[in-house]
């Protein structure tokens, strides 16, 4: 029987929102457009994000809207009709950048789009080859962690080769920031997009955009004329006049602030180490269950999410529905090419813990047993405990 208290949201975003972050949503509200203290608090959040992203000297904006807003803003402000953009397409969101590029009448050139490449971090030599072959490409898009497949791309080696070719790099770090270092300035990233509802464990509804000086030069040159996604308007309005270009959500910013404080209270080194442990424990649990990870190896896999192949003979939908109804554990399926083929466990932020992984994988082990698979619950417990001991 599933009890009312059996509600474990172990998906790779939206994630569980910790109590302190939920409490921030109940704070006294204000008029964020007029209250000078709110602007100060918003700027404090920007400063914490600058530290989290390693983005000294970058412009940082927290915008109301989900992360797709940030992705689209990056393309809208940097791509003119006819521009050719190298899209690193080894995943659902990686490939999805091509649709946004096309929506702005750019021409995407895809690299890494084969089924085999979807199971691996992108090969830097493939990017080098494409940039060598397409000298007119001045923008490259990368997804750091492609959440639907759990693939983690090596941001610093990709950035290095992109810079060698003098191109700008746009990075979707929606499901990595807060769990994996991104080192925006050190890696010379030009635009980086984050989301609130993944590793940061805040509510959905905010997107974070970091912009380098080199990107500003291109943005100013391109002179995008739209309104809602216009990054020049954000800079002019907020940085020059101290005014939001449109109404900010005070409570969502309070929640994000609280979420960031919990990260810094723990310390970023500890946070990143904990996510690496979660990845090891999660892979150990899969091995104990005889399940096959989707990424080709653990090094190709993100410390924030694990993806595995749906066990043969079982429907992913049925298994996940059963886990939820019987054990109160919510896992995620996947999208696009991977729909039905892949099941995912989120270990993002507070979920990257011994307890959360024990709940996820013991429930999965029991469900598989209920479906007639001969698996051992205690082996799964040992595999997780071994890592966190």
Helix (H) / strand (E) element for 169: namely strand 168-172
Closest distance of CB 248 from ligand PLP, Å: 17
Structure tokens at 100: 């946004």
| Cα-to-chain-centroid distance, residue 105 | 26
Structure tokens at 286: 């899969």
How are the residues of the chain apportioned to helix, strand and coil, as percentages rounded to the nearest 5? 45, 15, 40
In the block, residue with structure tokens 């109301």: 64
Closest distance of CB 12 from ligand PLP, Å: 7
Report the residue number, 68 or 251, with the smaller CB distance to ligand PLP.
68
Provide the binding-site residues for ligand PLP, judged by CB under 6 A. Answer: 13, 66-68, 93, 143, 146-147, 172, 174-175, 195, 204
Name which of 295, 302, 319 is nearest 370 in CA terms: 319
Report the residue number, 172 or 257, with the smaller CB distance to ligand PLP.
172
Closest distance of CB 177 from ligand PLP, Å: 11
Closest distance of CB 344 from ligand PLP, Å: 10
Report the residue number, 175 or 362, with the smaller CB distance to ligand PLP.
175
Q: Does residue 258 contact residue 24 with C-beta atoms inside 8 Å?
A: yes
CA dihedral 232, 235, 236, 238 (to 10 degrees): 140
Closest distance of CB 153 from ligand PLP, Å: 11
Report the residue number, 175 or 300, with the smaller CB distance to ligand PLP.
175
- Residue 206's DSSP bridge partners are 64
Find the angle CA(337)-CA(309)-CA(341) to the nearest 5 degrees: 30
Report the residue number, 352 or 368, with the smaller CB distance to ligand PLP.
352
Closest distance of CB 100 from ligand PLP, Å: 11
The per-residue DSSP string of 21-50 comes to HHHHTTSPP--TTT-HHHHHHHHHHHHHHH
Report the residue number, 202 or 384, with the smaller CB distance to ligand PLP.
202
């Amino acid at each position: 029987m599933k009890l009312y208290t059996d509600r474990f949201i172990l998906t790779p975003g939206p994630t569980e929102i910790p109590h302190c972050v939920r409490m921030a949503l109940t704070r006294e509200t204000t008029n964020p457009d007029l209250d000078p203290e709110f602007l100060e608090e918003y700027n404090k959040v920007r400063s914490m994000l600058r530290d989290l992203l390693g983005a000294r000297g970058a412009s940082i904006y927290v915008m109301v809207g989900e992360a797709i807003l940030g992705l689209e803003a990056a393309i809208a402000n940097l791509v003119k009709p006819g521009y050719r953009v190298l899209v690193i397409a080894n995943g659902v969101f990686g490939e999805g950048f091509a649709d946004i590029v096309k929506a702005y009448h750019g021409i995407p050139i895809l690299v890494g789009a084969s089924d085999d490449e979807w199971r691996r971090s992108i090969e830097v030599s493939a990017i080098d080859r494409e940039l060598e072959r397409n000298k007119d490409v001045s923008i490259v898009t990368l997804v750091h962690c492609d959440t639907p497949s759990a693939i983690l791309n090596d941001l610093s080696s990709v950035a290095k080769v992109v810079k060698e070719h003098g191109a700008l790099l746009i990075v979707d770090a929606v499901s990595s920031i807060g769990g994996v270092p991104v080192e925006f300035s050190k890696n010379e990233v030009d635009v980086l997009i984050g989301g609130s509802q993944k590793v940061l464990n805040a509510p959905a509804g905010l997107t974070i955009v970091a912009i380098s000086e080199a990107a500003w030069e291109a943005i100013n040159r391109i002179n995008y004329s739209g309104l809602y996604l216009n990054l020049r308007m954000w800079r002019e309005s907020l940085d020059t006049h101290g005014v939001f270009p449109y109404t900010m959500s005070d409570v969502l910013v309070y929640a994000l602030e609280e979420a960031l404080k919990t990260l810094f209270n723990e310390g970023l080194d500890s946070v990143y180490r904990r996510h690496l442990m979660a990845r090891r424990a999660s892979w150990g649990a899969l091995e104990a269950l005889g399940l096959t990870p989707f990424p080709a190896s653990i090094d190709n896999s993100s410390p924030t999410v694990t993806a595995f192949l749906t066990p043969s003979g079982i429907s992913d939908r049925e298994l996940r529905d059963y886990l939820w109804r019987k054990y109160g554990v919510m896992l995620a399926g996947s999208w696009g090419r991977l729909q039905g083929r892949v099941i995912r466990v989120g270990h993002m932020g507070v979920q990257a813990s011994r307890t959360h992984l024990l709940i996820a994988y013991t429930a999965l082990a029991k469900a598989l047993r209920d479906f007639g698979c001969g698996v051992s619950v205690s082996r799964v417990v040992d595999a997780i405990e071994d890592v966190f001991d």
